[in-house]
Chains A and B, each alone.
Chain A
Amino acid sequence: MPTNIVCEKTSARLEAAFWSRRAPSPADVTHVASCPSCGGEWEALKAVANSLATSVPPEFAEVRARSIRQVVAREFANSTPPIAVATRRLPIGYGRELARILGWALLPLPIALFAYLQLFQFGAALLGQVLPEWGVVAVGFVAASAAASWLAVVYGSIPLVAYQRLSGFDDAFKTPHEVST
């Protein structure tokens, strides 16, 4: 075992040389030759290296390699396109286009809502003369949900419209794989 700092450091370097299958540095060779402790260390490591050298893999038959390659190639051809490749990036400038269309679409919204509210109140007053109160409430509810549905459809389609304007309408409805081919 190493008895002093020099031997300890030499021993660590000998081990490193062993793992990288390199010869020790000339300085370490000199030390090993004159130090029985490090000499013994190096001899033991060389014996281990000689033993490990006998671990040689058998020949990997060409026929077997070809058959493996075929099996894997078949799997390769049959496998679905991987997600990372299939996932299409959004077209360049998509965010800006989306903001632009959204801006234009939001401009008339207060006017439309105001007009609708006026119409709503006018209709309710008119219906109040012929229908009982619960009837007016029911018609009002239907009218309000119809308006909400229209708003959802119109504003919900904006991302799709933005996509279509940048990449062509058909692409938006293809699967990502079809798009990429």
Chain B
Amino acid sequence: MERVQRGEVRAFDLLFERFRARLFGFLYRRCGDGPVAEDLLQETWLRVVRSRDRYDPQRRFSTWLFQIANNLCRDRGRRLAVERRGKRELTDAMLVEAPTGNPHPVDSRLDMPGLLGRLSDRQREVVVLRYFHDHSERDIARIVGIPPGTVKSRLHQAIRVMREQKAADAD
């Protein structure tokens, strides 16, 4: 990465290839959509290039890279949630009888098949990093920007959700 900071295009190519499959796998499992993952991958690298002066060589490059990628996924999740809420409010307003009860919660779950789609965005990010990418809890804490203890508790909650889902599927 230091060679990339010095402006070596060849070094960038090497980095891109080295993280290509990992980063794509991460983005795909985070957002559940191949073409979207490809777009986010491009955006991640563009951000790496644009903010390469802010990279601290004392830190691991993969932590920084996944931090950027994860933030993009979060932004996308938030945008989707707002869009969905907007659509629902519009539908509700069009109904003759006004709905009662609580307003719809912001839905961060995705139209994603499988167990990952049953997790909240906050749970999914730690699960994907821990289970599929073998990042340590400390590393995940840095990527996600939460204390290591919170990573542990989110992983624990995620297991519970996934186990309950499996049990429900079996019934």
Chain A residues packing against B (C-beta within 8 Å): 15, 18-21, 44-45, 47-48, 51-52, 54-55, 57-58, 60, 64-65, 68-69, 71-73, 75-77, 79, 81-85
User: Does the CB pair B37–A57 fall under 8 Å?
Assistant: yes
> Is B167's beta carbon under 8 Å from chain A?
yes
Q: Which residues of B contact A84 (CB under 8 A)?
A: 5, 53-54
User: Does the CB pair B49–A51 fall under 8 Å?
Assistant: no
**30 A–B contact pairs at CB < 8 A?**
A18-B159, A19-B131, A19-B155, A21-B131, A44-B166, A47-B170, A48-B163, A51-B166, A52-B131, A54-B114, A55-B114, A55-B132, A57-B25, A57-B28, A57-B29, A57-B37, A58-B34, A68-B41, A68-B42, A71-B46, A72-B16, A72-B45, A72-B49, A73-B9, A76-B12, A77-B9, A82-B5, A82-B52, A85-B5, A85-B53
> Is B116's beta carbon under 8 Å from chain A?
yes
Q: Which B141-171 residues have a C-beta within 8 angstroms of A?
A: 155-156, 159, 162-163, 166-167, 170
* Known A15-B159, A72-B46, A75-B46; contact A51-B53, beta-carbon cutoff 8 A: no
Chain A residue at smallest Cβ distance from B130: A19
Nearest-neighbour CB distance to chain B for A65, whole angstroms, equals 6
* Known A57-B25, A58-B34, A64-B38; contact A75-B49, beta-carbon cutoff 8 A: yes
- Say which residue of A45, A60, A76, A81 sits within 8 Å of B20 (CB atoms): A60
> Is B13's beta carbon under 8 Å from chain A?
yes
**How long is the Cα–Cα vector from A45 to B29 in the complex, in angstroms?**
19
Nearest-neighbour CB distance to chain B for A119, whole angstroms, equals 53
**How long is the Cα–Cα vector from A18 to B158 in the complex, in angstroms?**
12
Please count how many residues in chain B sit with their CB below 8 Å of the partner chain's CB atoms: 40
**How long is the Cα–Cα vector from A69 to B42 in the complex, in angstroms?**
8
Task: Contacts A58-B34, A68-B41, A76-B9 known; list 12 others, CB within 8 Å.
Answer: A19-B155, A48-B115, A48-B163, A51-B115, A55-B115, A55-B132, A57-B25, A60-B20, A60-B21, A68-B42, A76-B7, A82-B53
> Is B59's beta carbon under 8 Å from chain A?
no
Chain B residues packing against A (C-beta within 8 Å): 5-7, 9, 12-13, 16, 20-21, 24-25, 28-29, 34, 37-38, 41-42, 45-46, 49-50, 52-54, 114-116, 130-132, 134, 155-156, 159, 162-163, 166-167, 170
Nearest-neighbour CB distance to chain B for A47, whole angstroms, equals 5
Give the tally of cross-chain contacts (CB within 8 A).
Answer: 92
**How long is the Cα–Cα vector from A79 to B49 in the complex, in angstroms?**
8
**How long is the Cα–Cα vector from A44 to B159 in the complex, in angstroms?**
10
Q: Which residues of B contact A51 (CB under 8 A)?
A: 114-115, 162, 166
Chain A residue at smallest Cβ distance from B162: A48
Chain B residue at smallest Cβ distance from A67: B42
User: Does the CB pair B46–A83 fall under 8 Å?
Assistant: no
Q: Which residues of B contact A72 (CB under 8 A)?
A: 12, 16, 42, 45-46, 49
Chain B residue at smallest Cβ distance from A15: B159
9 closest residue pairs by CB, A with B: A82-B53, A57-B28, A84-B53, A58-B34, A72-B45, A68-B42, A57-B25, A48-B162, A60-B24
**How long is the Cα–Cα vector from A85 to B55 in the complex, in angstroms?**
11
Chain A residue at smallest Cβ distance from B134: A20
Q: Which residues of A contact B46 (CB under 8 A)?
A: 71-72, 75
